[in-house]
Amino acid sequence: MEQVDILAIGVHPDDVELSCAGTLLAHLQLGYTAAILDLTAGELGTRGSGPLRNEEAESARKILGVETRINIGMADGFFEQTRENKIKIINVVRRLRPTIVLANAIDDRHPDHGRAAKLVHDACFLAGLMKIETRDDQGGVQERWRPRAIYHYIQDKVLLPDLVVDITSHIDKKMESILAYRSQFFDPESTEVDSPISGQQFIEFVKARARAYGRQIGVDFGEGFTTARPPGISDLMKIG
């Protein structure tokens, strides 16, 4: 695998599509490269199953035009801050060597989201330590690597963003990628039990949230992010 500019990480398949798919599409259009890492298969979701959600994740990957999507098989709902789980993430970070990582919200309704945000943050730091040894698929020792920045996308809770990305040109493709998860979101033909995210109003909420963030920067649609440290800039005139 070649180095990528952006690695988008989600604890559940569909986290990335719901929260930062537009950002990925915008940067792919600019010529940057991106990959997606799912920590679990979302097997505890009310609807669907782990294998089905992985199939849907592959369909969403094709819609987004992302070449690489990896699932490291952590336990949905029960993953912990263990050495084993950190090493799994470190291995992927060192393989793909992203400049920027996009990760789950630091605080959210679903407890997995905040725990994943902390786990990813710690693993990205540890990936830069030379005394932590990991090996690639061929058994070779991986070089240490630490992303330049981690930005946490905003999910269900209303959080004040530290930055907003204009996704106006990509809102339709973002919504298409979300609807690739037919088991999870609005499908009038589904016979499964309803969930908090399966109604048509939830899809409307996702689009309305993007419109609300876009309004904050004077565009039609946006995606918001928070960051643990302020972004550095050398030219104030380049801030939108």
- Please provide the distance, in angstroms rounded to a whole number, between the alpha carbons at the two ends of the chain: 34
CATH of 6-228, one of 3.30.56.10, 3.40.640.10, 3.30.1360.120, 3.40.50.10320: 3.40.50.10320
Tell me the pairing of strands 6-10 and 34-38.
Answer: parallel
What is the residue whose two structure tokens read 């690489």? 68
Both tokens assigned to 43: 């097997």
Encode pLDDT of 146-201 as tens digits. Answer: 999 999 999 999 999 999 999 999 999 999 999 999 999 988 888 889 998 998 89
Which of 53, 65, 27 has the alpha carbon at shortest distance from 167?
27
Beta bridge partners of 70: 37
pTM to 2 decimal places: 0.95
Encode pLDDT of 83-123 as tens digits. Answer: 999 999 999 999 999 999 999 999 999 999 999 999 999 99
The angle that helices 171-178 and 200-216 make with each other, rounded to 10 degrees, is 150
